[in-house]
């Protein structure tokens, strides 16, 4: 019929809204646009968490930074503003160098020991072995124990009179080291204890990564007659890099903040600060020496150090992914 655009092949009429005007895309009649509605839903889910973070994380952090510029006896209701004096004292103190050295040695040994041993055990227990599941449970079990309980138990292991280590060394004719008198051996003792406790964590992460790897690549390496080391280096290890990066960050942060094992085994000694790390120094200055302002200074420096280390790790990971 002439003049009828629908039959003549002309454009279809534009959709109209409930009032006869053009309909608006992305909006239901009588409702907000989809974009606004999704934003409000996201805000409803995020707001409670942001409030909790602000109240229990960021506000205490800001208060700690503020207190680091004061001289405050924790039993006193008032604090005296002293500016940068606490920072100058910490950076010029000989004891601070010992504390930093203890922290670096303990953290480095704990990270390397936990990751290397955890990877070795994961590779071993990823094989088809008799009693594999039971051994996996035994390896992971110490991780769920309280650090204080592990510290107390290992006090008996390293006891200088009737400890297990002392007894084994005497049986082979070796002189037992003075774990509770020599600062170096004391630091070794608490490091071994923490690695033993934390081993189940790195083990289970690596085991999950191994079980999720591509088996077809293993089969290809086997067809190519690759050696065990070549197959691990060329096939398995590249697939474990994300898990390794995750463990480097988490184990480093956790090791940097260890308190319970050190407190129960050595109280930061021997010889004053033989096993005192930065987090233990925060406790000593705040609750033993009652210098809460100085303790807040050490905590702030530790926070900045961890923030810097984490930023460097993330930067290295991103550059590795770009390559």
CA angle, residues 222, 227, 228, in degrees to nearest 5: 90
DSSP 3-state assignment of 321?
helix
Q: Of 80, 104, 138, 74, nearest to 309 (Cα)?
A: 104
Residue 7's pLDDT is 47
Describe the chain by its helix, strand, coil percentages, rounded to 5.
70, 5, 25
Residue range 253-267: average pLDDT? 93
pLDDT in tens, 40-64: 888 888 999 999 999 998 999 999 9
Express as a percent the part of the chain with pLDDT over 90: 54
172 — phi, psi (to 5°)?
-95, 10
pLDDT band at residue 5 under the 50/70/90 scheme: very low
Q: Has residue 73 got a pLDDT over 60?
A: yes
pLDDT (mean) for 234-262: 91
- What is the residue extent of each domain of the chain? 34-67, 85-322
Residues 67, 285: contact at Cβ < 8 Å?
A: no
What's the whole-number average pLDDT of the chain?
87
Residue 323's pLDDT band (boundaries 50, 70, 90)?
low
**What is the pLDDT confidence band of residue 231, given thresholds at 50, 70 and 90?**
confident
Residue 211 buriedness (CB in 10 A; 0-12 / 13-18 / 19+): exposed
Across 22-34, average pLDDT: 54
In this prediction, residue 65 carries a pLDDT of 94
CA nearest to 291, candidates 80, 74, 84? 74
Q: Number of C-alpha atoms within 13 angstroms, CB side, residue 125?
A: 24
Token readout for 95 is 């004891």
pTM, whole model, 2 decimals? 0.82
Contact 316/81 with Cβ under 8 angstroms? no
What pLDDT, on the 0 to 100 scale, is given for residue 6?
Answer: 45
- Residues 192 and 46: their CA atoms lie apart, in Å, by 41
Return the higher-pLDDT residue of 76 and 112.
112
Please tell me which residue, 8 or 259, carries the higher pLDDT value.
259
Q: What is the pLDDT of residues 122-170, one digit of tens each?
A: 999 988 888 888 999 999 999 999 999 999 999 999 998 888 998 898 8
DSSP letters for 84-106: THHHHHHHH-HHHHHHHHHHHHH
For residue 39, pLDDT beyond 90: no
Chain position carrying tokens 């110490």: 142
Domain at 85-322: CATH code: 1.10.3720.10
Mean pLDDT on 281-298: 94
CA 233 to chain centre: 26
Mean pLDDT over residues 227-251, rounded?
A: 90
Contact 279, 257 (CB under 8 A): yes
pLDDT in tens, 169-211: 888 988 888 899 999 999 999 999 999 999 999 999 999 999 9
In the predicted structure, residue 25 carries a pLDDT above the cut 60 = no
Distance CA 68, CA 85 (A): 9
- Which residues on neighbouring strands pair with residue 71, listed in sequence order? 80
């Amino acid at each position: 019929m002439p003049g009828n655009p629908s039959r003549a092949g002309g454009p279809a009429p534009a959709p109209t809204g409930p009032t006869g005007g053009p309909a608006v895309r992305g909006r239901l009649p009588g409702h907000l646009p989809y974009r606004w509605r999704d934003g409000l839903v996201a805000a409803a889910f995020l707001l409670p968490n942001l409030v909790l973070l602000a109240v229990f994380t960021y506000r205490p952090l800001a208060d700690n930074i503020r207190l680091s510029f004061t001289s405050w006896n924790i039993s006193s209701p008032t604090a005296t503003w002293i500016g940068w004096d606490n920072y100058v004292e910490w950076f010029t103190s000989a004891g601070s160098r010992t504390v930093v050295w203890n922290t670096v040695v303990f953290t480095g040994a704990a990270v390397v020991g936990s990751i290397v041993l955890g990877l070795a055990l994961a590779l071993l227990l990823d094989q088809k072995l008799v009693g594999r599941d039971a051994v996996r449970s035994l390896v992971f079990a110490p991780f769920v124990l309280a650090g204080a309980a592990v510290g107390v138990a290992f006090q008996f292991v390293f006891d200088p009179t009737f400890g297990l280590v002392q007894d084994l060394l005497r049986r082979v004719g070796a002189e037992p080291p003075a774990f509770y008198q020599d600062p170096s051996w004391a630091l070794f003792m608490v490091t071994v204890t923490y690695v033993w406790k934390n081993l189940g964590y790195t083990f289970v992460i690596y085991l999950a990564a191994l079980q999720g790897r591509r088996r077809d690549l293993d089969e290809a390496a086997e067809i190519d007659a690759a050696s065990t080391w070549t197959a691990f280096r060329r096939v398995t290890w590249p697939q474990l890099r994300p898990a390794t990066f995750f463990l480097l960050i988490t184990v480093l942060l956790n090791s940097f903040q260890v308190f319970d094992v050190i407190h129960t085994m050595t109280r930061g000694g021997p010889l004053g600060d033989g096993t005192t790390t930065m987090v233990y120094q925060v406790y000593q200055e705040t609750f033993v020496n009652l210098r809460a302002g100085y303790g807040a200074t050490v905590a702030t420096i530790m926070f900045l150090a961890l923030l810097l280390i984490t930023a460097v790790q993330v930067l290295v990971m991103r550059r590795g992914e770009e390559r």
